Amino acid sequence: MTAPVDAPTAAGRMCPCDYRYAASVFDGPADLHAEVLYVVGGLYGNIAALDAIETLAGQESEPVTIVFNGDFHWFDAEPGWFAAIDNRIARYPALRGNIETEIARANDIGAGCGCAYPANVAGNVVTWSNAILAELRDVLAPDRAGRLGALPMHLVAAVGGLRVGVVHGDATSLAGWNFAHDRLADPARRAELPALHEASTIDVFTSTHTCLAALCDVLGPNRVTVINNGAAGMPNFSGARFGVITRIATHPSPHPPLYGLVRDGVCIDALAIRYDTDFFRRDFLARWPEGSPAHLSYFRRLMHGPDHTIEAAVLARDVMAA
């Protein structure tokens, strides 16, 4: 029997067991070293945004390491469009998000889109996401599934003297919501973050998954910074149409950041991705006309942005006692 859409075991709400890992997996040598690190989460098949990201990288004074931390596919449920995104992402280090994981599975385990949506997300959003995932799975060529399914769920980057944990969801799950803006806005939730540093030896976690941008910094002997870029390939703030990525570097950005902080000489910033919105809208509407699940779920956000502001994204800086 299929679970009701609002049940925690329903497709789109359940969190598969193989999404989970311990925070201690980060306590090891760095997977890569960078002077300038761009973390691109939630590209969602937006070719125009990818063009804009590569343009920004080319304007940096030092080589840029670009890492895609999942959900680079989504709206590109058309064979040519999908291949164009996949071929370009294959040039870079990348993690798999829930989207890549679920479209690449050999057997459907009933996870739907794999978003592990919490109870405060409306049931119709869950239904639409499951429908988009099903259409995206239909265009995945078998020769691409193996590569996507083999991508890691997390990695560690060294930037200056900081250890950066790059994740899709949070510190213990590919589809975790503990780095969601609403949870980071809760002082009780922020008070739990220093324990993550102790378990992981990570100074900065950078994530995406939950689609709303956030930055918080918890000071103390186990200081930890969390920056969630929201989405690189969709608008992130009310009345604006730009995407957002995370830049972590040993020197200031040539591109004025939306917000950020400097920690131990390392700049941690959110950068705007001002992509060609007309180009992307044409691609989107050609594949997802009015009445389609992606149009129902996302078109308003693509045109007007979500109910979120830059001011709200920057959360309180907390000081924890020793």
pLDDT for 319 equals 77
Q: Is 72 helix (H, G, I), strand (E, B) or coil?
A: coil
Beta carbons of 117 and 13 less than 8 angstroms apart:
yes
Query: If the chain, 322 residues long, is cut into consecutive pieces of 10 residues, what is the mean pLDDT of each piece?
Result: 71 94 97 98 98 98 97 98 97 98 88 94 96 96 93 98 98 97 95 95 98 96 97 98 98 97 97 97 98 98 97 86 52
Two structure tokens written together for 160: 């200056």
In sequence order, what are the residues at sequence separation of 6 or more whose Cβ sits closer than 8 angstroms to the Cβ of residue 122? none
Q: What are phi and psi of 229, to 5 degrees?
A: -80, -5
H helices, E strands: number in the chain = 11, 13
Determine how β-strand 259-263 pairs with β-strand 243-249. Answer: unpaired
Which pLDDT does position 19 carry in this prediction?
Answer: 96
Please state which of the four CATH numbers 3.40.50.1000, 3.40.640.10, 3.90.1150.110, 3.60.21.10 is assigned to the domain occupying 33-319: 3.60.21.10
